[in-house]
Amino acid sequence: MINQMAKKINDAGGRLYLVGGAIRDEIMNIKSEDLDFCITGLDENDLYNLFKDVKKVGSSFPVYIINSYECALARKETKIKTGHKGFNFDTSKEITIYDDLKRRDITINAIAKDVITNDIIDPFNGIEDIKNHIIRHISNSFCEDGLRVYRVARFSAKYNFKVDVETIKLMSKLKDEIKYLKNERIFEELKKALKTDHPSNFFHCLINSDILDIHFFELNFLFKQNKTLFNNLMKSLDEIVKYTKDDSVIFSILSLGTYLLNINDISIINLCKRLNLPKKYILYSQDISNYLDKAINFNNLSNYEKIILLNKLKKSHIGIQNFEIILNIYFKFFEIPKSLKKNFELLNLSISIFTKINGKTLNDNGIYSNKIGYKKFLDILYKKQAEYIDLLTKNNK
């Protein structure tokens, strides 16, 4: 189908190219879900004349859906005012594929492939930068869109690429521009970065370009106050993605940093509210702050208090399994007195209580809530669970 489209476009005097992330990922042997195409030598009227069911999406820089493929006309951009919408666009037939690639942000995104000939167009040596694991801007027009700062940081996290020194310098110059970015656009890049294998690169990139403080004040404050604590937090961030791809859980581990820094008004919750992050981000981070102290001092609680804490964790927004993951990472990367090690061991063992002693196990032993009443049933359950914890405590000494 795409080859037939390309031939039809070619016969009309145009050309069809695979561009952007699709060709980048193809070169890196990564499966790409989104295929983006660029058309040169034709205008909008030509598209409507060539294809029956063309659907135009967007107004500022429209995309045309042709046979379910997303296609855009090659364009030049001219910055006219602040913000990501402050551009004039030229999509005339004279615009070449080189012109279109030149307007893009970084070299690894400025590669095209002719659909008919399979020829690669790489005017800015993007393939070489892919081989060398480098993210590099194309020209000074990089500075025309502040969001590119966060895109670069996100690509660094996604591919574990280093950012070119000159690109870092340009990013630093965008401090004023990025203040105009909407929170939802920042969140989009943050969320994508959190789901990568190296999310810490996102924040290290912002530190290196001296712009972390613009939208992530609390993390920048932590970095300035205690670099060791910050670096351990970043290691924790890279560790947790090995266990989950839930961005809310991944983000919540950042609350460990401000928890340990222990300075009033410096909290991840404040960051969440200021950037208008999803409610789950706030709730999960609050769960870490609310239960961490008791979890650390688990051995000092009575058996009944331990049962209550475990049940609260089970019913918490973040969930007991995710909390356990974060707790183990906390112990792995932060300096914790050896005397607390057994607390962590006991808490981890005690979490198994819900599979060992639960309503079903009571039922299996002939104890039913509809026969003895729910309150008495619950009292027996708590007593059995307390006995189980008492046994774990003795074995853990």
In this prediction, residue 85 has a pLDDT band, given cuts at 50, 70 and 90, of low
CA distance 151 to 356: 47
Helix, strand, coil fractions of the chain, as percent rounded to 5? 60, 10, 30
Whether CATH 3.30.930.10 fits 1-123? no
Q: Where are the domains of the chain?
A: 1-123, 133-215, 360-395
CA distance 4 to 2: 5
pLDDT tens-digit map of 171-222: 999 998 899 899 999 999 999 999 999 999 999 999 999 999 999 999 999 9
Residue 87 has pLDDT above 70, yes or no: no
> Alpha carbon of 15 to those of 9, 29, 350: distances in Å?
6, 25, 65
Which range has highest mean pLDDT (108-117, 293-302, 344-353)? Answer: 108-117
Q: 133-215: same fold as 1-123?
A: no
Residue 37 has pLDDT above 90, yes or no: yes
The tokens for 355 are: 């599979």
Mean pLDDT of the chain: 90
In this prediction, residue 20 has a pLDDT band, given cuts at 50, 70 and 90, of confident
Residue that wins the pLDDT comparison between 349 and 361? 361
Q: What is the pLDDT of residue 287?
A: 94
Mean pLDDT of 284-308: 87
Q: What is the pLDDT of residue 1?
A: 83
Mean pLDDT of 325-333: 89
3-state secondary structure at position 342: helix
Residue 363 has pLDDT above 90, yes or no: yes
Q: Is 311 exposed, middle or buried (0-12, 13-18, 19+ CB in 10 A)?
A: middle
Q: What is the pLDDT of residue 337?
A: 67
Q: For the domain with range 133-215, which CATH number is right: 1.10.110.30, 3.30.9.10, 3.30.2130.10, 1.10.287.130?
A: 1.10.110.30
SS3 sequence, 59-121? Answer: CCCCEEEECCEEEEECCEEEECCCCCCCEEEECCCCCCHHHHHHCCCEHHHCCEEECCCCCEE
In this prediction, residue 351 has a pLDDT band, given cuts at 50, 70 and 90, of confident
Q: What is the pLDDT of residue 350?
A: 81
CA distance 296 to 87: 53
End-to-end Cα, the chain, rounded Å:
69
381 and 357 Cβ atoms separated by less than 8 Å: yes
The tokens for 156 are: 């660094």
**What pTM was estimated for this model as a whole?**
0.88
- Length of the chain as a residue count: 397
CA distance 270 to 278: 13
